[in-house]
Amino acid sequence: MSDQDERFRKDTPRNPFETYDANFKQRLQSPSSVMSASPIAGKEDLQKRYEQSNVMPQAVSLPPHLFIPADAQSIDIRNLANVPPGTTVDLLEFRGRKGGIVKFIAYGVFFDALMFDLINLVPTVNGVRVFPFHGNPQRRFKIGLGTGSDLSNVNLVQCQLDLQPGDILKWTFTNDDVVDVAAGVRMSGYFDQSTIRKIGRFGG
C-alpha cells in the first residue's frame, strides 16, 4: 500500500454520518465565555459586564391606590343576603380600625332583581352617601345594577375610599319588589398602618 493510500485510509471516518475530514472538530462555546469580552471589547467593557451581573434586583413599589402594599394587611369583606319584599336591610357594615387607615380600592355588587326601579343600594360612611358619581346618572346616580354575575375580581369597580378609625361604612339595600331579592356586596382593600397624619375621605 502506497503512502497516499495509507493517508487516505486514516483520514476517512468509519462512521458515514461523521464529517469526511477526521481532523475537523466542532468547537463548542464554553458557558463561561459569555462573560468574556469580545475581540473588539476592552478591559473596561469586561469590567462593566461583571459589575452589571452582580447588581441585586431592586423592589418596585406599585401604586397604592391600585394594589395592596406588601407590608399592609389585606381586607376583603363581602355578604350575600336574601332580602324579603318591602324591606330595607344593612347588607354590609364595617368599622374603621384603630392604629391606621382602612383604604378600599375596589368594590362589587350583585343582584338577581328583574326591575331596576324596585331596588336600591346606598353606600354611606357615618350616614353620608359615598361614591356620589357611581350608578345611573339619569336616576340621581342610583346603584341598582350588578357589576357582574358574581363578585369575582374581574367584576370589581375601582374606587378610593379611606376610613378613619371609628368610621362606619354601611351598604343599605331596599327591596320594593313583591318577591325576595338576592343582593350581595364585596369590598376589597387594605389596612394601612404607615399613615401617621389622618386624611379625609377621598374618592368617596
Q: What is the pLDDT of residues 6-23, one digit of tens each?
A: 655 555 556 655 555 555
pLDDT on residue 137: 94
Give the residue, 144 or 12, on which the prediction is more confident. Answer: 144
Contact status, residue 182 vs residue 112, Cβ threshold 8 Å: yes
Which residues face 94 on adjacent strands?
A: 169
9-23, 52-66, 174-188: which has the highest mean pLDDT? 174-188
Alpha carbon of 84 to those of 33, 178, 191: distances in Å? 75, 8, 34
Average pLDDT over residues 119-143: 95
Residue 157 pLDDT exceeds 70: yes
C-alpha cell belonging to residue 50:
461583571
Q: Is residue 160 exposed (0-12), middle (13-18) or buried (19+ Cβ within 10 Å)?
A: middle
**Pseudo-torsion of CA 48, 52, 53, 54, nearest 10°?**
110
C-alpha cell belonging to residue 72:
399592609
CATH for 73-192? 2.60.120
pLDDT on residue 154: 79
Distance CA 101, CA 162 (A): 7
Give the residue, 133 or 70, on which the prediction is more confident. Answer: 133
Q: Model's pTM, two decimal places?
A: 0.66
pLDDT on residue 165: 93
The domain ranges of the chain are 3-53, 73-192
Q: Which of 88-92, 111-115, 121-125 is predicted with the least confidence, judged by mean pLDDT?
A: 111-115
Distance CA 131, CA 202 (A): 10
